[in-house]
Structure 1
Amino acid sequence: MTDRKAQIARNLTQVEERITAACVAAGRKREEVTLIVVTKTYPASDVRILSELGVRHVAENRDQDAAPKAAECSGLPLTWHFVGQLQTNKVRSVVGYAGIVQSVDRARLVTALSKEAVRTGREVGCLIQIALDADESGRGARGGVGPDGIEELGELVAKAPGLRLDGLMTVAPLTGPYAGREQAAFERLMDLSTDLRRTHPAANMVSAGMSSDLEQAVAAGATHVRVGTAVLGVRPGLG
């Protein structure tokens, strides 16, 4: 086993232990939580190692980095998630590899995704990104739509050809009433998910929690956690 593979395997084991412990503490089954490894800034060789180690879900946030990597790893049994703010001019490329777009936050993006999904004959899963720090404009500092916009956007996705409404996603806000209160933020997301599932029962995916706060996300009820640094190490060039 190469040094890099051994390092990733060790880190992956530690993250698995954290998720398992969090599930036990929350009275949940381990299989209720899916690990998505965020591979942004890391090479395709790391993605191949992750696949060899049994990881089935990876995420990227910049199309210019993700597209060549996904092409290089196209033969692997992976679902690619796009988690970054998505400009409509990148939709054609992203739909080419992403099975799920977790950052759907505006009607124009829904229209562009639907058009491209239909053109390519693909079905794209969509999560509505929720901004719990939304300002008066209904937008958050890291993208996303405020809670008041969920119902309308959810209906748009659900009715759009080629798209599938899978659920909700959030990033723990750095400002506003939930700053520093990750558990409360994720519990609010779960409440919003419950509301959404009243009209869209199949939209039961809740993506929340990262390396630093995955335990709080699992405790709140998240179905998917997005972990990068804890699995792959400190990103190159980030200290």
Structure 2
Amino acid sequence: MMTAQAAPEPHESARKAELAGNLARVEERIESACVAAGRKREDVTLVVVTKTYPASDVRLLAELGVRHVAENRDQDAAPKAAACADAPLTWHFVGQLQTNKTRSVAGYAHYVHSVDRLRLVTSLSRAAERAERELGCLVQVALDAPSGSVGERGGVAPDGVEELAEAVAGAQMLRLDGVMTVAPLAGPYAGNPRDAFERLREISTGLREAHPAANMVSAGMSSDLEEAVLAGATHVRVGSAVLGERPRLR
């Protein structure tokens, strides 16, 4: 005798409908940007940034067809990934990463977008070896960082990309997949995400001369995804446009 499946709670149905509507609007934006750029829609991957939102939302997103989700704090990401381990999801870590968190991150993340220093490469490699999991790595570029330094929100200065990329490519259990940036709030690119993303495209093109497979370009968020798509982003990281305005952090 078959057991009837429990009906979803009213608030869960309402939340799922809200997320579905938001996803549809974001999808329309990406599709329009692809048309404007002369690109195929399938060339751009939507990564939904679920930071500050519960695992229940991640499950609803998976039910709605989302396959890529991102977090920026390990203390939130690790339990959320464990709670959703049976969902068909690819996990991206996109925040600044401390070396003492690499062992945890290597246990669930498929990609780390925020590789910005040699010490982190070494730590991630050791953690990935222990976990017996290959990690896809993106070099985070701080377009506003002075030569030889790290940006305030993470990221290596443009002139440090090549050295860091070589370190990733040569590290055990790490795979160099491309580059990432966040549109700068200061410096020559402040308020001009299109030019910032075009600069990232130039850096990506240069990187692919030595590493042809490093073709991921992670750029653009809720406010500037169109500019990112026009500048060649392969992955856009969208949070509030899908999940709503974020609650205050604890």
- If the length of structure 1 is used for normalisation, what is the TM-score? 0.98
Indicate the residue corresponding to 1:232 in structure 2: 243
Whichever of the two has the greater Rg, that structure is 2
Listed one character per residue, the Cα deviations across residues 137-158 of structure 1 (whole Å, up to 9, x for unaligned) are 4221211000100111001000
Aligned mate of 1:58, from 36, 59, 69? 69
2:109 is matched with 98
Partner of 1:121: 132
Per the TM alignment, residue 136 of structure 1 is displaced from its structure 2 partner at its CA by 4.6
Residue of structure 2 equivalent to 1:187: 198
Matching of residue 26 in structure 1 with residue 37 in structure 2: yes
1:43 pairs with one of 54, 58, 64: 54
Residue 135 of structure 1, CA deviation: 2.4
Whether the 8 Å CA contact 2:147–2:159 is kept in 1: the answer is: no
SS at match of 1:2: helix
Q: Does 1:71 align with 2:82?
A: yes
One-letter amino acid of the counterpart of residue 154, structure 1: A
Residue identity matched to 1:182: P
Percent identity of the aligned residues?
74
Unaligned runs of 5+ in 1: none
User: Are the equivalent residues in 1 in contact too, given 2:147–2:160 (CA < 8 A)?
Assistant: no
AA aligned to 2:134 is E
Matched, 1:5 2:5: no
Measure the CA separation in 2 of the matches of 1:48 and 1:23. Answer: 28
Alpha-carbon offset, residue 201 of structure 1: 0.2
| Mapped pair 1:163 → 2:205 | no
Decide which of 74, 89, 98 is 1:87's aligned counterpart.
Answer: 98
TM-score normalised per structure 2: 0.94
Q: Matched residues in 1 for 2:206 and 2:149: separation?
A: 19
Residue in 1 aligned with 2:159?
148
1:133 aligns with 2:134: no
Q: Secondary structure at the match of 2:110?
A: strand
Once the two structures are TM-superposed, the CA of residue 237 in structure 1 deviates from its matched residue by: 2.6
Partner of 1:197: 208
- Measured in 2, the distance between the counterparts of 1:75 and 1:96 equals 15
Aligned mates of 1:75, 1:176 — CA distance in 2: 43
- Give the root-mean-square deviation of aligned CA atoms: 0.9
- Once the two structures are superposed, residues 108-134 of structure 1 have per-residue CA deviations (whole angstroms, 9 ceiling, x without a partner) of 000001011111111000000000000
- Which residue does the alignment assign to 1:219? 230
